[in-house]
């Protein structure tokens, strides 16, 4: 038995493309933003085709990182409201029209519902429907077919990208640590960035790794996984296991906080049994750091484990496994050199010990805004 493929309603598709093209072609400085539903819609190539044809600058929502080509010259970063990539939010929110493909707007992705967007400026495309501004809406159209048809109807307009180039100033690298200085998180991620290639994939755990991994510019072919819809801590350990098992041509680099790891640590056993060779950076800062910024309390302090000792016990001299604790930049460099050199065919577990208050500035901003949104009085019914 064969299931016939889903197809767009041809009349609806033509009307939708005409309405969207008319709306976007009238705009002075339109932009594009990719959302996480691009994946389920199988619309990655179609989204890139619109970006190529239109000349618009394009960004991604945080949960869509890895779904659009970051090596593209008009990619401007992650659109995440107040914690966006530098200069990205300014271009998106000042646009007079924006094409959102597959967005999910919730309290986390909208930074506590603080995005400065206006519905009447938006073309919002979902996997099987789309709406232009405040209307009209069109159903029974598939995102890839819609985007491919739209790409042929848009007039090239690089105004927003030209504006971006005028204001853009490259980010500076964090300064190197001094000899024996305690390792800082931003220095850790500077070195992780240098590890990435088309043969690698990043798995970003819920927590401060959300924000630090968003800053990683992905080389062509580099995979990326990020789970925001439920904010589930611990999901990345199992995700690392599954990704490495399915994509044997890539080496997974997982960034996992200590609190999250405690939820699902036993999956390391299956990684070893399957002979996987991922690199796990266990970021040990002594607690649930993201929860501290949303709603602090004594429950955010956790019992410290000997994480490398635990993994060694799980290893039990069966399989290929290598572990190391690092406290300084010199030790981190040594660990990365070993993990990518002599131990490249091993599961590598690197416990990175950092200060409990060492967080990204984006987490501080995001946490305060989400906290304010979560603590507001309920809407009267």
How does pLDDT run across 18-56, given as a tens digit for each residue?
999 999 999 999 999 999 999 999 999 999 999 999 999
What confidence tier does 368 reach under pLDDT thresholds 50, 70, 90?
Answer: confident
Question: 171-200 burial by CB neighbour count: b if 16+ within 10 A, else e?
Answer: eeeeeebeeeeebbbbbbbbebbebbeeeb
Burial string for 25-43 (b: 16+ CB within 10 Å, else e) reads eebebbbbbbbbbbbebeb
Distance CA 150, CA 21 (A): 7
Q: Of 185-189, 226-230, 269-273, which range is least confident?
A: 226-230
Mean pLDDT lowest among 2-6, 99-103, 138-142, 371-375: 2-6
Instruction: Please state, rounded to an integer, the average pLDDT across all residues of the chain.
Output: 93
Q: For residue range 336-347, what is the model confidence (pLDDT) as tens digits?
A: 999 999 999 999
Residue 16, pLDDT score: 98
pLDDT the model gives residue 380 = 56
User: CB within 8 A of 353, min separation 6: which ones?
Assistant: 182, 183, 284, 325, 326, 327
Q: How far apart are the C-alpha atoms of 339 and 324, rounded to whole Å?
A: 10
Joined tokens for residue 25: 């072609």
Count of CA atoms in the C-beta half-sphere (13 A) of 242: 7
Mean pLDDT, to the nearest integer, of 359-369? 87
Residue 328 DSSP symbol: B
Q: CB-based burial of residue 239 (10 Å sphere; 0-12 exposed, 13-18 middle, 19+ buried)?
A: buried
User: Is a pLDDT exceeding 70 seen at residue 1?
Assistant: no
Give the pLDDT score at 52.
97
The rounded percent of the chain whose pLDDT value lies above 90 is 80
92 pLDDT higher than 90: yes
pLDDT in the model for residue 146:
98
List, in order of start, the domains of the chain with CATH numbers. Answer: 10-167 (3.40.50.1220), 185-367 (3.40.50.970)
| Rg of the chain (C-alpha set) | 22
The mean per-residue pLDDT over the stretch 256-268 comes to: 95
Cα–Cα distance for residue pair 345/341, rounded to 1 Å = 9
How high is the pLDDT of residue 300?
Answer: 77
30 vs 287, more confident: 30
Tokens describing residue 114? 């603080």
Range in 2-16, 100-114, 300-314 with the lowest mean pLDDT: 2-16
Q: Categorise residue 233: left if φ over 0, alpha if ψ from -120 to 50, beta otherwise.
A: beta
Contacts of residue 352, Cβ cutoff 8 Å, sequence gap at least 6: 183, 188, 281, 282, 283, 284, 326, 332
| Per-residue pLDDT tens over the stretch 209-220 | 999 999 999 999
pLDDT at 341: 97
What is the distance between the alpha carbons of residues 59 and 90, in angstroms, rounded to a whole number? 12
pLDDT tens string 169-185: 998 888 887 889 999 99
Cα dihedral across residues 235, 241, 243, 244: positive or negative: positive
């Amino acid at each position: 038995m064969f299931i016939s493929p889903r197809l767009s309603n041809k009349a609806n598709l033509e009307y939708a493309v005409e309405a969207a093209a008319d709306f976007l072609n009238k705009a002075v400085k339109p932009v594009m933003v990719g959302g996480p539903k691009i994946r389920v819609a199988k619309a990655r190539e179609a989204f890139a085709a619109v970006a190529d044809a239109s000349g618009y600058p394009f960004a991604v929502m945080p949960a869509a990182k890895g779904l659009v080509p970051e090596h593209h010259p008009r990619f401007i970063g992650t659109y995440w409201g107040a914690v966006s990539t530098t200069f990205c939010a300014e271009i998106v929110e000042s646009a007079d029209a924006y094409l959102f493909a597959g967005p999910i707007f919730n309290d986390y992705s909208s930074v506590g519902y603080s995005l400065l967007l206006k519905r009447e400026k938006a073309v919002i495309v979902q996997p099987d429907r789309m709406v232009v501004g405040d209307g009209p809406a069109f159903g029974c159209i598939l995102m890839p077919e819609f985007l491919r048809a739209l790409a042929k109807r848009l007039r090239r307009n690089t105004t927003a990208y030209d504006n971006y180039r005028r204001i853009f100033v490259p980010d500076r690298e964090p300064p190197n640590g001094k000899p024996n200085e305690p390792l800082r998180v931003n220095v850790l991620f500077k070195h992780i960035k240098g590890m990435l290639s088309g043969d690698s994939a990043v798995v970003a755990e819920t927590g401060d790794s959300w924000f630090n991994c968003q800053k990683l510019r992905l080389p062509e072919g580099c995979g990326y996984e990020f789970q925001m819809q439920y904010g589930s801590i611990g999901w990345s350990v199992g995700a690392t296991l599954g990704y490495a098992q399915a994509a044997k041509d890539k080496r997974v680099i997982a960034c996992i906080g200590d609190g999250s790891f405690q939820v699902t640590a036993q999956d390391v056993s299956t990684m070893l049994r399957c002979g996987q060779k991922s690199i796990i950076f266990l970021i040990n800062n002594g607690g649930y750091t993201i929860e501290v910024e949303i709603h602090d309390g004594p429950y955010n302090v956790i019992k410290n484990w000997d994480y490398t000792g635990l993994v060694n016990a799980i290893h039990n001299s069966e399989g290929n496994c290598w572990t190391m604790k690092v406290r300084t930049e010199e030790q981190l460099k040594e660990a990365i050199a070993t993990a990518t050199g002599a131990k490249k065919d091993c599961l590598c577990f690197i416990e990175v010990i950092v200060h409990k208050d060492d967080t990204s500035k984006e987490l501080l901003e995001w946490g305060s805004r989400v906290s304010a949104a979560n603590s507001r009085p309920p809407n009267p019914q």
